[in-house]
Amino acid sequence: MELWIDALIVLLILTNLKLIGSSRLSACIRIVALQGVLLGILPGLVNPDQMTLRAILLSAITIVFKGMVFPWLLLRSMRTSSVRREMEPFIGYSTSMLISVGLLALAMWMGGRLPLPIPLKSPLVVPLSLFTIMVGLLAIVSRKKALSQVLGYLVMENGIYAFGLALALKEPLLVELGTLLDVFMAVFVMGIAIFHINREFDHIDTDLLSALKG
Amino acid sequence: MKMIFILHPLGALLLSPLLLGIVNRTKAFFAGRKGLPLLQAYYDLARLFQKSAVYSRTTSWVFRAGPMVGLAAAMTALLVLPIGGGAACLNFTGDLIFLIYLLGVMRFFTVVAALDTGSAFEGMGASREVQFSILAEPALLLSLLAMGEIGESAIDSGIPLPHLSLSGIYAGLSFSAWMHSGTVLLLAASALFIVLLTENARIPVDDPNTHLELTMIHEVMVLDHSGPDFAMILYSSAIKLWIFGALLAGILVPVRSGDFLLDGAATLGGIFLLPIGIGVIESSMARLRLLRVPQLLSGAGVLAILAIVLVLKG
């Protein structure tokens, strides 16, 4: 059982690395979708004894939203803005990969030092969530295309979800659903914003937006 | 020293050209051809050894020493290489670094001999080889270290094998080690496989069939060698493939029954299955663009680092 949890967590770490090291936007969107599905499966493996109907429902909703709805929305806005690749990010792909390995070590170190209220099933869940949050932030600050930044935001949210999964077992259903709805609205609004940025400027590079201020 | 330990280096010297034949036959099968005979590499070697070498006037002794040093380094590496769980002829503390340095010596002399010809073409190949090896070597070292951590902790303390030696590491990589930390071993094995493809000039990185194309790396460096020199290069590359095959088969076939012959036979089977895998990859993939190769290799490095981090954490 522990082997499977470890394998899943390593797979999640690899999805993060793939996201940060890949230039093709459709591949990035698919990898984030995969990450969402894996995150939906994770609670069933980590806490199999607490799989109530509520928890199963929550996992199912997570998988549907993060694995299907968001990727579909993002792929649609990718097609409408006719962007295929992230060209010339602020930090190159190999460099960001090396940086994220450094971040992984940092997350492992922090995860080991964090005093936790309850003992965890796997010691890797907290480092994984910290690492995912950091990778999301890195994607937001180092990429130019609005679409990649949305992906970074989604990955960050995934990290927070994983953290909640590790600690807040009795988190109210309403809170979880509310977060999911917030993220859904955010992706929806960002999709519309990307569409408008694209229509106005013929590209979705965000680094030039700062020139707009008066 | 038991005589049985000598069997592996001798077997490797005899059987390693067969691996090239298996790769070629697999590729021929996928292309719908009949393909070269399985023993073609032996015929090539015999033919080349009978010829005489031609040396350009611009070359010096370095050019002549290159293939010999390469072959000698590859043969020496066989001495520290364990097959399966069985100990190698030589084992001492830290011999995995010795193995990596022997491979380094081999590459250094190939590169220096290529530069010695004064050909711009070969210089380019040498530059690429060195550039990729900078990335491939750490990945190899780190994945061996990650495996070492696991193998050492799983090893039966009754066996007197030196600390951090390849024989000790591989003796511990049993089936129970896989059950305990399979993810780490899988990560290390995938990093090792990418390094294998790079070091042996296989397809996602280099194309062994393109003798006169600008994109090639390894083949371009040996263009000027002829006759016995080229035979030595061919032979040492076959041995190199054997070395990496044995390293990889040692992880992927975790049969450690304690019976030398059974373990050896299982690992030997793994070594001979590996060229089939390489042939499948060569038939189904295109070579990566040259700019993408460092990305692939740093990916291998990242996998190895991830394995190390997980080992230290777990």
ipTM attached to this prediction: 0.81
- In sequence order, which ranges of B81-174 are alpha helices (DSSP H)? 95-116, 120-154, 166-172
pLDDT band at B159 (very low <50, low <70, confident <90, very high): low
Each residue's pLDDT tens digit, B72-85: 999 999 999 988 77
Q: Are A127 and B313 in contact (CB < 8 Å)?
A: yes
- In sequence order, which ranges of chain B are alpha helices (DSSP H)? 4-31, 40-50, 61-80, 95-116, 120-154, 166-172, 175-199, 218-221, 228-252, 260-284, 293-313
Q: Are A97 and B179 in contact (CB < 8 Å)?
A: no
Across chain B, mean pLDDT equals 87
* Residue B10 in domain: no
* Residue B35 in domain: yes
Q: Are B183 and A93 in contact (CB < 8 Å)?
A: no
Q: Which of B180, B298, B312 sits opposite A94 (nearest CB)?
A: B298
* Residue B222 in domain: yes
Higher pLDDT, B126 or B206: B126
pLDDT band at B67 (very low <50, low <70, confident <90, very high): very high
Task: Say yes or no to pLDDT of B172 above 90.
Answer: no
Each residue's pLDDT tens digit, B253-274: 888 877 777 888 888 999 999 9
Whole-number percent of chain A with pLDDT over 70: 93
With a CB cutoff of 8 Å and minimum separation 6, the contacts of B307 are B142, B143, B146, B184, B187, B188, B191
Range with lowest mean pLDDT among A1-5, A109-113, B30-34: A1-5
Q: How many CB pairs under 8 A join A and B?
A: 45
How far is it, in rounded angstroms, from Cα B202 to Cα B211? 13
* Residue B297 in domain: yes
Mean pLDDT throughout A51-64? 82
Q: Residue A207: how many CB atoms within 10 A of its CB?
A: 11
Task: Say yes or no to pLDDT of A41 above 80.
Answer: yes
Dihedral angle computed from the Cα positions of residues B155, B160, B161 and B163, in that order, rounded to the nearest 10 degrees: 80
Residue B266 burial (C-beta neighbours within 10 Å; 0-12, 13-18, 19+):
buried
Total count of domains within chain B: 1
Helix (H, G, I), strand (E, B) or coil at B90: coil
Residue B289 sits at the chain A interface (C-beta within 8 Å):
no
Which two structure tokens, joined as six digits, stand for B294?
């460092």
Higher pLDDT, A76 or A209: A76
Q: Which residue in B has a C-alpha nearest to residue A6's C-alpha?
A: B183
Of B78, B2, B82, B22, the closest CA to residue B267 belongs to: B82
Task: Say yes or no to pLDDT of A96 above 80.
Answer: yes
Whole-number percent of chain B with pLDDT over 70: 94
With a CB cutoff of 8 Å and minimum separation 6, the contacts of B69 are B105, B106, B109
* Residue B9 in domain: no
Domain that holds residue B60: 19-313
Of B100, B128, B102, B134, the closest CA to residue B115 belongs to: B128
Work out the minimum CA distance from A131 to partner chain B, whole angstroms: 12
Q: What's at A17, amino acid-wise?
A: L
Q: Which of B180, B294, B313 sits opposite A94 (nearest CB)?
A: B294
Task: Say yes or no to pLDDT of B142 above 50.
Answer: yes
Higher pLDDT, B168 or B75: B75
* Residue B68 in domain: yes
Q: Which pLDDT does position B1 carry in this prediction?
A: 47
Q: Are B183 and A108 in contact (CB < 8 Å)?
A: no
Of B263, B261, B277, the closest CA to residue B194 belongs to: B277
* Residue B14 in domain: no
Q: Which pLDDT does position A197 carry in this prediction?
A: 78
* Residue B1 in domain: no
Residue by residue, DSSP assigns A126-156 as HHHHHHHHHHHHHHHHH--BHHHHHHHHHHH
Phi, psi of A82 (to 5 degrees): 45, 55
Partners of B187 on chain A (C-beta within 8 Å) are 10
Buried b (16+ CB within 10 A) or exposed e, A174-196: eebeeebeebeeebeebbeebbe
Q: Are A3 and B310 in contact (CB < 8 Å)?
A: no
